[in-house]
Amino acid sequence: MKSFNLGHGILHFPLKLPWAPPGFVNVYLVEDDNGYIMIDCGVNGDEYFNELKKNLDSLGIQFSDINLLIGTHMHSDHIGLSSVLREKGLKFGLYKNSIEFIPKYNDWTDRFKLISEYAKEQGAPKEFIDDLNSITTPSTTGKLTSPDILFDEGKIKNINRNLEVIFTPGHDISEISIYDASSKIIFSGDHILPRITPFIPIHDEETSMLNHYVDSLKKMNNFEISKFAPGHFEVIDNPQKRVNQILLHHEKRSEKIINILKDDELTGWEVTNKLFSRPLDSMNLRLAFQETMAHLKYIESQGKIKQNISKVSTWSII
């Protein structure tokens, strides 16, 4: 992937990731008075730090020129290097609710323990539960401490450029998008991507992340947008079309799940296997299970299906 030119005092370069797809994360530098604002920074590790520094050097930018580092959300490919960059003097900001999720960011065993307990209730087999319980925190995550700045929705304070925080949870509970009023570009993190629909996880048994995500997509109607500058892949030049495509994708997947449940009462694990019928490796199976559960919770909130809670729960049409 190559750098692209967004104009309006916005610089971009891709940083390599230790996994593919997507293979790269997009880093943006937005010009402000007397320096730059950086959006996202890649994973932790000497190799990735050196690549970041090499890109900055090629642009003639020093760490001292960067007044603020914004993390769009709490995933390691977007904020893994933040602790190292803070040691270089960069101020780091996340959305205000991030403070309560730092322990789970730093300790993946805690995060996946909750998912494994939920998976057991949804009829998942022992090998899947064991796989979830074997996950440990990778070094690429880095070590996150309380950010220097906690953002609220609205214009970012103490900078001259008119950048606005939009709270867009769904892919992550703390996700934000950043609207640049002068260019009408939205830096969308993983909220809106061009080639794939963002992964929607399980947060807890009560929270419907897909409900949050659909509501966040609809927020885009409140802005005059020239393009999306996403966290991965290329710029999206037809923003409203892409929003509509993603909404349609989730509508069609929900319809498919309803059709699956028309014939039988099934556990969440059984729905997962019918929805994703091709063989999946362990990582993609984890993603498929969470995506399925996110959809089941979403359809349940619409009053179309119900969960029959027991030692092993099932789902059925109302």
Strand positions, DSSP E, 141-181: 149-151, 154-155, 163-167, 176-180
Q: Which residues contact 29 (CB under 8 A, 6 or more apart)?
A: 10, 11, 12, 36, 37, 38, 39, 59, 61, 66
Bridge partner list, 195: none
Tokens matching residue 112: 């996946």
Helix (H, G, I), strand (E, B) or coil at 185: strand
Give the chain's radius of gyration (CA, Å).
20
Block residue for tokens 């399980």 = 202
State residue 1's pLDDT score: 83
> 73, 96, 4, 82: which is closest to 43 by C-alpha?
82
Bridge partner list, 15: 25
Helix (H, G, I), strand (E, B) or coil at 77: helix
Tokens matching residue 141: 């995550």
pLDDT digits (tens, 9 = 90+) for 250-290: 999 999 999 999 989 999 999 999 999 999 999 999 999 99
CATH homologous superfamily of 10-317: Ribonuclease Z/Hydroxyacylglutathione hydrolase-like (3.60.15.10)
Enter the pTM of the model.
Answer: 0.97
Q: What is the pLDDT along the chain (318 residues), one digit of tens a residue?
A: 889 989 999 999 999 999 999 999 999 999 999 999 999 999 999 999 999 999 999 999 999 999 999 999 999 999 999 999 999 999 999 999 999 999 999 999 988 999 999 999 999 999 999 999 999 999 999 999 999 999 999 999 999 999 999 999 999 999 999 999 999 999 999 999 999 999 999 988 888 999 999 999 999 999 999 999 999 999 999 999 999 999 999 999 999 999 999 989 999 999 999 999 999 999 999 999 999 999 999 999 999 999 999 999 999 999
Pairing mode, strands 163-167 and 154-155: antiparallel
| 8 A C-beta contact, residue 62 and residue 34 | no
> Residue 236 gets which letter from DSSP?
B
> Residue 101 gets which letter from DSSP?
G
Distances (CA, A) of 74 to 144, 145, 202, 241: 9, 12, 15, 27
Q: How far apart are the first and last CA of the chain?
A: 48
Q: How many CB atoms lie within 10 A of CB 50?
A: 10
Tokens matching residue 297: 């919770």
Pairing mode, strands 24-32 and 35-39: antiparallel
Q: Where are the domains of the chain?
A: 10-317
